[in-house]
Every structure is written in C-alpha cells, then in structure tokens.
A and B are shown apart, each in its own frame.
Chain A
Amino acid sequence: MTPPARLNASASSPCRLRTRFVLRFLKTLVKIKRSTPPPPSPSLSLTSSPEKIGRHSQRIKLAAYSSMARAVGQRRAWSRALMLKLKLSDKRKNRYRWLAARKMKQQKTLRRGCGRILATKRNRSEKGSPSRSCSGVDELRRLVPGGEAMDLGVLLEETAHFVRCLETQVRVMSIIADCFP
C-alpha cells in the first residue's frame, strides 16, 4: 500500500470528500451567519469592518478547518490532531485563547517531537545530518496539524493528504465566495 496509490485512490473520489466538506462548511456558515447579528445599516458595516470582519473571518476560517477535518474523519492523523485541538478550544469556549493554546501546544509538542525524533534517529543510527533537514522538516511539522509527533515518512504522507485537502478547501471556498461577490 503505497502512499501514491492511496492518494490516487482518493483522487479518484474527490467528490466525496469535497461533498462532505461542502455540506459541513455550508452548515457552519449558515450557523455563523445566524449567530452574527446583521449590521444594522450598511454604513455601519464599514465602520465596524476592520475588527468585526477580522473576527468574523477568523470564525469562518475555523469553521473551514473544522469542517474539513470532520469531513476527513479519523482516517488521517492530521485530521485527528486538528479535531482534538478544536475540541479543546471549544471546551474553553474562547476562540482567541484557542490560538494562543495552539501556539503553546505546538511549542510543547515541537519540543517533545523533536526529542522523540532525535531519539529515533539515534536509535536508528541516522546517517543523514539531522541539522540540515531539521529546519525544513520542523517547519513542515509546524504547518501540518499533529505533525510534531510524526515520523518523517508519516509526516510526508500526511502532508500530501493535507495539501490535497487544502486545495479542495480553497476551491470550494472560492466557489462560494464567487457566488456572492
């Protein structure tokens, strides 16, 4: 079972993932829409735009990521990690603290993950120089949710799937955005 085969198989059925994501995302958008009180007047929307729109966009972004993670389900490590993070953030019921907590968690897991990776490398008598590839790999670990605790091979797999899901996300969101210019 090679990763290309797996991901190609998923590519052959992109509609399923996309459909799942779309449905979830739309529902979340509607929910956000309903929860957000409509601006009393158009002019006010302009005046309150910077902060309100910023907050609103953050919520939409979170909704996009969470709906994508839920669409993927438990099949992928990154989706599981992302759902865990979101669950934690929901429990605290504070969106802003979620970002801070995510940063903290990333730092912690990064440190832990690095230690684990270095230990693994030691155990395996890694020949390659960890320092050379560490920076790029570390960056990738930061980007991919849950990547800090992954082995490099698994990390690359998850990255490939994550990239595909991000592309789907961008596509869907752009379509939605285009419908309402």
Chain B
Amino acid sequence: MDRGGRDGIEQELSNQDPINYSSSCISPVWPFCSTNISNAPTSSVDPAHMPAVCKENLIGSSSCSSAPVADPFGPPALWDQTTTAHTMVGYRDITLQKNLTNLNILGGANIGLDPALLRGDVGWNPPISMPREGIFLANTPGMLPPSLTQIPADSGFIERAARFSCFSGGGLGDTANPLSGADGIGVCPRGVVRMPISVQGEVFPANSVKLLPTIRDNIHIVESSKDAVVRSEYIQYNGEQTKQVVGGSGDDSSGPEFNEGGDHDENEENGLGSKKRKRNGKDAEFREPAEDLKEANETRQKLHQSPNSASGKAAGKNNKQVSQASEPPKEFIHVRARRGQATNSHSLAERVRREKISERMKFLQELVPGCSKVTGKAVMLDEIINYVQSLQRQVEFLSMKLATVNPRLDFNIEGLLTKDILHSRAGPSSILGFFSDMTLPYPPPVHPSQPGLIPAGLSGTGIPDSLRDNHHDQINPVGGGGSKGSALLPNLWEDELNHVVQMGFNGADPLSSQDTSDGIEFLWSYYNANLKFTVDSSQMFIGRYSCQS
C-alpha cells in the first residue's frame, strides 16, 4: 500500500506509544501524554506526522519542568502555575487582557518583544482575579495539569490552540528563540498546524481537536516569543469558539480586568489581533513566520497611534464582522465558516466530519460495483455490507473448493501458482471462466486430462517463464508454459477463455489492473445470479474427484 507517510507515522507512533496505537491514528491524544518522553524529529513534520508532533508537544509541555523549558522562563513554578491556570480555564471568552497578562507571566524571558507587554514579574493573580464573562480559572498554582484529560476536549479550544500553534511555530522560527532548548516544542506547533493546512483549508481534522490540548502547554512557551496577535489568539484556547478567537482580541479590550495597567497595551494587542485577523482573512495561506512577525510589527506600530481602533469591536459582533468583511481567517484549522452558515466551532467540526464521511462514502461507491446509482448513506451502507458479505462468502466457498482440491496440490505448487497469479490479469477471466463453466456441464474430456497434464506440462515451467510471460499472456493463465509442453492444457484453457470473452466480458483488455474492478463487478453480478451453484459446484468437485481416482 502506498502509505509511506502513514507508515512512518505508524512506526513512529508504535515506537513511542505502543499502548494506544491499536486504534486508528486519529485517536485522542490524551493517551499519548502518558507515554514516555521522547523528542521526535520535528524538522520535517507533515500532516501525517501530526500525531507524532502533537505527542511531542505533549511531551514537551509535560516536561516543562525540564531544563530547556524552564530556563527561559525562570522559575519553573511560574510555568507550572501558568499551565495550571490555563488548564483549569473554563470555556468562556477570554479577553485579550487576560491573554496579555498570561503572556506577561510567561514572557519574562522573552526577547524581541515589546517590553511594555512583558511582565515577567507578574504573578498569577491578574489572570486569576479576572472574572471574565464567567471564565473560571482555577488558580491552584500547585496543580499542574497532570494530564491533559482535565482539559475538556472542546473543539473550539483545540481550534484555538492549533491556530495559536501556527503562529507560534512561525514566530519561533524567526525570532532569536529564547527557548532554544525547546526547539522541538517550538517546531511542533508548526508541524501541527501544517496538518490542517495540508488538508487545504477545509478541514477541521479531528486530529486538531486532540492536538490542541497538547499544544496548549507548548503555546505557553512559544507565545512568549510571539507577537501579541498570536498570543491573543492563542489565549482563547479554552473552549472559546473559533470565531471568538478571531474576534476575541477585539473583545474586552477595554477590560478593566487588566489591573496591571496594560490598557494601552491591551488595546494595542486587540488592534493587532483584529488587523492581523483581517489580513489573515484575505490571505488564507499559511504565511511564513517572517511575514507574520513583520506584519505584526507593522500593525503594532500602526495601532500605537490608534489604540482604540479595535476596541470598538465587541466579542460577539466581531465574529460576524470578520466573517462578513472577509472570510473568517482560520489559518490554523483551515476551516471556513461559509457565508450564512453557522460558525459555531462545534458545527464547523461537525461539518468537516460529515464532509470527510461523505467523501469516503463516495469512494466506497466507486469501489463497490453497482452502487453508482445508489444515493443515500443508509442504502449505500447496506450495499457495502452486502458486498463485503458476499466477498467473504466467496472466500469461504473458495476455501472449501481448495480443501477438496488440496489432495492434488502435490505437484509443483509454488512454481505453478506463482506463475499463474503473476499472470495477474488473468484473474477476472479465469474467475469468469470458473463460474461460466459451473453453469455449463463441465466438459468431461477436459477433466481427466488435466490432472495428468498438470505435472507434466506445467511443472516444467519455472518462474522465469512466468515473469517473462507476465506481460504477454494476458488470457492464458495456465497456458503460459504451453510452449514448453502439454499442448492440450493451453488449448483447453484457451477454449474456456475464448468462451468467457465471448460472453461479453470487457473484451478490451479485460485483464488490466484497471479493469479488475470491472471484472470483479462482472463476477459480483454473476455470483449474485448464480449463488445457488456454490454448493452444487462443491459437490460436483467432490463427485469428480471420486470418479477420477
């Protein structure tokens, strides 16, 4: 199967998380956090590697107390408190102020950022004491997020985290990363975000839902070096709706919650955020970190002059405004709330999931013969189930047939059969021949001669012949070695096959691999029509064998 990317991921995941990989790759990341800490390579992350990346993020976040993470942020306790507060966050709107304060807490060691925005000495009190529209911050400093299970896997939360991680990763790469030790973590968000991007902007992958909690903690580290916009957008990871994230920066910009006196900065942040979002709306592509930083800096400068520009946007309105003014910029998740459609993160996720399922149903429709005219999920599902059951019945029947045939498998089985099966294109025709012959009285003269001829004629044919003839003998499954001997056998097979071809099987190159599906379709219809003979044929076989010997 050509799933190299997925193979790599699976191997990586299996190496790192053998516990939970029995399920699909798109399984919650929560279990991953319990796995051992390892730094997966982050340089060439791609969408497929998202699980590994998010796992890495998890690990990185969970190992926040480790040296590389702790150093830039000074006291690890601060970090713990930060993560704790963030983990315990509720699912309300988070204002920019809160983001800023959080950033301040985290950004003690930030470099390259506006020092006014950084408040390394800020304790936990500001974010905790900020009653934000009912947001509940469990300010238990000592309570680390032992596991990300505490974080409700809210889709909006995850979206925001993923969105933030996008910017975070971008910004990280550009700035002189103070968190040089957290390279892996820093890169991870970018990789994580790349996953949604690769889905071309229309996907809210379930992966991201699970990703975000993992990225959450990394964002703490990352955001310190990000622009305010990024941070503001990031901050709203705790269950807020994505739209709100977009417009969130505009919300509460004038919040009195910033008791640190950062009103100016907050508005600045809000303006930055809104402007950046608008810009993002126009350009949905994932921008390079350099661009992001540049734009952020530019907007920041502009906003310095008009700090109140963004404050006018209310939280609720901002979403609609942004969506109406320009398509909601959701670069991280690349999910666009179409005009006039619900922009709830839940409905977005639901829509993405439905699209994914319908896409796969369409593919199954092509795969299962006779389903092209069928419309509707339930009927399609029934057809698919019928088809799978019929295939399994066929396997059972063929195994029974082989059980009766088995006594005769003394001869050069491997050589013969490998050759036959390598004549892959003979598959459908031989199947048809089989079925067609079942309905017709099996020609008696053919039968006795074949067993005797098989060892004589075909045992001599080695594999090289089969490989050589692979591309030539399309309609001669057994007669590939006809030139060697047993002239009778190839003739018999050719007669059968000619008959089969005359029956109207796809005459034009019926044995190409592309037509195997057609062959199977024919077989399928034939099988359906002739279900009865399965039992009869087996009895015929048994009878024949008894007669022969």
Binding site for B on A (CB under 8 A): 1-4, 6-7, 9-15, 17-19, 22-23, 26-27, 29-30, 32-33, 36, 38-39, 42-43, 45-46, 49, 53-54, 56-61, 64-65, 72, 74-77, 80-81, 84, 123-128, 132-133, 136-137, 139-140, 143-144, 146, 149-154, 156-157, 159-164, 166-167, 169-181
Contacts and interface: CB of A to CB of B under 8 A. Distances in A.
Contact of B10 (A14, A75, A84, A176): A75
A43 B520 CA distance: 37
B381 A136 contact: yes
Q: How large is the interface on B (under 10, 10 to 19, 20 to 34, 35 or more residues)?
A: 35 or more
B385 A136 contact: yes
A157 B388 CA distance: 14
Interface stretch (B78-86, B95-103, B177-185, B409-417): B409-417
A173 B399 contact: yes
B418 to A, nearest CB: 6
Interface of B: 1-3, 5-7, 10-11, 14, 22-24, 26, 47-48, 153, 155, 198, 206, 346, 349-350, 353-354, 356-357, 359-364, 366-368, 377-378, 381-382, 384-385, 387-389, 391-392, 394-396, 398-410, 413-414, 416-418, 420-422, 424, 426-428, 430-431, 433-434, 442, 447, 450-451, 454, 477-478, 513-514, 516-517, 519-520, 523, 541-542, 544-546, 548-549
Contacts of A146: 22
Contacts of B382: 136
Contacts, number: 269
Nearest to B523: A170
Secondary structure dominating the interface of B: helix
Q: Please give me the 8 A-B residue pairs with the lowest Cβ-Cβ distance, nearest first.
A: A42-B549, A9-B2, A136-B381, A56-B403, A156-B360, A57-B400, A57-B403, A61-B399
Contacts of B350: 124-127
B385 A140 contact: yes
Contact of A156 (B364, B394, B410, B433): B364
A120 to B, nearest CB: 9
Given A42-B549, A174-B430, 20 more contacts: A10-B2, A14-B516, A26-B417, A39-B407, A74-B11, A75-B7, A136-B378, A140-B384, A156-B357, A159-B388, A166-B392, A167-B516, A167-B520, A173-B399, A175-B420, A175-B426, A176-B402, A176-B417, A178-B433, A179-B417
A53 B404 contact: yes
Nearest to B394: A170
